[in-house]
Amino acid sequence: MSEQKKVIFSGMQPSGVITLGNYLGALKNWTNLQEEYNCLYCIVDMHAITVRQDPATLRKNARDLLMLYIAAGLDPEKNIIYMQSHVSAHAELAWILNCFTYMGELSRMTQFKDKSNKHSDNINVGLFAYPSLMAADILLYQTDLVPVGVDQKQHLELTRDIAIRFNNAYGETFRVPEPYISKVGAKIMSLQEPTKKMSKSDEDINATLSILDDPDTIVRKFKRAVTDSDAAVRYDELQKPGISNLMTIYSVITGMGMDQIEAEFEGKGYGDFKLKVAEAVTEELRPLQEKFKALSKDKAYIDTIIKKNAETANYLATKTLRKVQKKVGFPPVMR
Ligand code: TYM
């Protein structure tokens, strides 16, 4: 990693095929950062087990997600793309940070509240302590910027608080990271309930769009997307959340502003608009899907990437971990 460049860290949970929300809110932006920054992109399998996962499916999803990162345009020679569970420093630092994180802080996290409502039979300690593991992910690499969607902002604020608290107690140890949230697309909404965010775990398959959906499915889901009875393509998040969400999707993909989109569809019906959005999404995802298919056939190449990047991540993470262990007073390991 070049010393002069700033460090970017982000991650996704391999808890299913990622959605158009994950792609537009995070992954697509990551690909624009790889020249200017030193970037680490993690597949956070340790976070994923905070809700029950089938082991074989988790293994497959983790590998698929790594291939999707590459298929979306992340160059594995320029970015450190790796599995969280391959770098044990994440768990070790998370433990230390748990001792600097308050129960009150964790119980205020909206993701914890949402997930514990959804999985009321399994409100485990890992789900509760999820944000201190996330803080460890970020702080291990002396990260400057964290590109995420809006839903992760609260976790990042907590990460900053933990870093500042630790630095105040032990002297400068962690760089205090900043969130990096794009203006448009940072919160893509459900296609069926457009006041709710699009989420991998939604039970209604028509509510989400997987980035591996085929063109027919994409058209069908957009045709069924919930809109309103007003029939004017106009941006108004409060009164017209469905249409505004489709406009956001179209805007992030085409780069057009909302007024340009309104002008393009002036006097046209929702049917035309929905088809145009579906077409734009299909064309956006086509190269990614083709690359993903090709990568799926190259097991040896993917294995090499996984191994090599885990080594680099381990090297970097261990540097920070050793510093932290020393500061809190752990006796040095005798060699
Ligand atoms: P996860 O796996 O839920 O989501 C991955 C990324 O996708 C963004 N995102 C969205 N963006 C726009 N619209 C949506 N509907 C939408 N849904 C999800 C998320 O904001 C995220 O950027 N806790 C994290 C994973 C994580 C992490 C980290 C992220 C673990 N450690 C360290 C950054 C840094 C999560 O659950 O993301």
- Residues lining ligand 1, Cβ inside 6 A: 9-13, 21-22, 25-26, 44, 47, 134, 137-138, 146, 148-149, 151-152, 155, 186-188, 197-198
Closest CA to 244 of 223, 270, 224, 267: 270
Q: Does a structural domain hold residue 186?
A: no
138 and 64 in a common domain? yes
Predicted confidence at residue 136, as pLDDT, reads 98
Count of domains forming the chain: 2
Write the CATH number for 28.
Answer: 3.40.50.620
Over residues 51-77, the pLDDT tens digits come to 999 999 999 999 999 999 999 999 999
Over residues 6-48, the pLDDT tens digits come to 999 999 999 998 999 999 999 999 999 999 999 999 999 999 9
Q: Does a structural domain hold residue 202?
A: no
The mean pLDDT value for 128-143 works out to 98
Distance CA 109, CA 62 (A): 25
Write the CATH number for 281.
Answer: 1.10.240.10
Instruction: Please give the share of the chain, as a percent, with pLDDT higher than 70.
Output: 99
159 and 21 in a common domain? yes
Q: Does a structural domain hold residue 322?
A: yes
Extract the tokens encoding 222: 């957009």
315 and 245 in a common domain? no
283 and 170 in a common domain? no
43, 44, 46, 253: which to mutate for ligand 1, most atoms within 8 A of CB? 44
Please list the residues that pair with 210 across neighbouring strands.
19
234 and 173 in a common domain? no
255 and 169 in a common domain? no
Q: What range defines the domain where residue 220 resides?
A: 215-293
Over residues 156-208, the pLDDT tens digits come to 999 999 999 999 999 999 999 999 999 988 999 999 999 999 998 899 999 99
What does pLDDT average to over the chain? 96
Q: Does a structural domain hold residue 16?
A: yes
Q: pTM to 2 decimals?
A: 0.96
Instruction: Using pLDDT thresholds of 50, 70 and 90, give the confidence band for residue 4.
Output: confident
